[in-house]
């Protein structure tokens, strides 16, 4: 059972994908985090990806599909998987469909977290992160329990250098150029469910859970068929 999260920067995909994964009892895979990990570990796939990342280029679709295929082959993914950050292009979406079809599987539901650019800028410029463990907090939507300290490890939180307006606007433009066609791809196939990402976090989680259940395939929020 494959669930995909789509949405522009600042929509809260990572936060909601983790929540839904816990709710449904299936793994959450952030392809961005997985790619960075592969590069840091120096795996064959990571070395291949680094050639593009070091030059500021997009990692080729085939490489990203290979990364996702590794997760699909894992035993813990047999019951389902939540993909966050993939697919980002129409060829990736088509490649994923072909890969899943070869395994007798299919995309179950595509969840679009919708947010406008100005709200995305407001949220992302309020993000802070922990250099010690990599956790991210938001001073607007997800404040740390102790001011300035990471909830996960207690490390000192710092602003992210890439969370400035002109960078965010460029990322938003890239999303609309590359990923908006992916939204249309899944919408035309009847798989897309849209949720307003401006709502309170708990309400968004409830609507996402209901959307997945409405697609069929889950007996209850606690388990996948």
Q: Which of 143, 160, 165, 189 is catalytic?
A: 160
**Residue 142 CB contacts under 8 Å (≥ 6 apart), including other chains:** 15, 201
65 in any annotated domain = yes
Does 47 qualify as catalytic in the annotation?
A: no
Distance CA 107, CA 72 (A): 12
| Residue at 155 is within a domain | no
148 located within any domain? no
Q: 66 φ, ψ to 5°?
A: -65, -40
Give the contacts of 128 (CB within 8 A, at least 6 positions apart): 136, 137, 138, 139, 144, 157, 158, 159, 160
Domain presence at residue 41: yes
Does the pLDDT of residue 39 top 80, yes or no? yes
Is 191 catalytic? The answer is no
User: Residue 98, Cα to own-chain centre: how many angstroms?
Assistant: 21
Q: What angle do CA 191, 196, 202 make, to 5 degrees?
A: 105
Task: Report the number of distinct structural domains present in the chain.
Answer: 1
Residue 158 maps to a domain:
no
* Rounded to 5°, angle at Cα 70 from 73 and 208: 80
> Annotated catalytic, 160?
yes
Q: Which of 58-62, 76-80, 130-134, 204-208 is least confident?
A: 58-62
92, part of any domain: yes
Q: Do residues 194 and 112 make contact, with C-beta atoms less than 8 angstroms apart? A: yes
Determine which one of 19, 88, 123, 193 is catalytic: 88
Q: Which domain holds residue 69?
A: 2-115+178-224
Residue 123 is a catalytic residue:
no
Q: Which of 13, 19, 123, 193 is catalytic?
A: 13
Query: Does residue 204 sit within a domain?
Result: yes
Q: Say which of 18, 79, 105, 171 is annotated catalytic.
A: 171
* More confident site: 195 or 55: 195
Do the domain assignments include residue 39? Answer: yes
pTM of the model: 0.81
Domain CATH code at residue 105: 3.40.50.300
User: Looking at residues 113-126, what average pLDDT do you find?
Assistant: 89
């Amino acid at each position: 059972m494959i669930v995909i999260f789509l949405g522009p920067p600042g929509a809260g995909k990572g936060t909601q994908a983790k929540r839904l994964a816990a709710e449904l009892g299936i793994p959450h895979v952030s392809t961005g985090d997985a790619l960075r990990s592969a590069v840091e570990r120096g795996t064959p796939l990571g070395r291949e990806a680094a050639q593009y990342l070091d030059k500021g280029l997009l990692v080729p679709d085939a490489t990203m599909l290979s990364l996702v295929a590794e997760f699909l082959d894992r035993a813990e993914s047999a019951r389902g998987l939540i993909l966050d950050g993939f697919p980002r292009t129409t060829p990736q979406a088509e490649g994923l469909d072909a890969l899943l079809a070869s395994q007798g599987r299919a995309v179950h539901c595509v969840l679009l977290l919708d947010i406008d650019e100005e709200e995305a800028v407001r949220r992302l410029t309020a993000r802070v992160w922990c250099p010690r463990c990599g956790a991210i907090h938001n001073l607007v939507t997800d404040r740390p329990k102790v001011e300035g300290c990471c909830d996960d490890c207690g490390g000192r939180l710092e602003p992210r250098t890439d969370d400035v307006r002109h960078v965010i606007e460029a990322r938003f433009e890239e999303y609309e150029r590359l990923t908006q066609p992916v939204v249309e791809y899944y919408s035309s196939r009847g798989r897309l469910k849209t949720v307003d990402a401006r709502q309170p976090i708990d309400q968004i989680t409830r609507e996402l859970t209901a959307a997945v259940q409405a697609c069929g395939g889950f007996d209850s929020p606690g388990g996948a068929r």
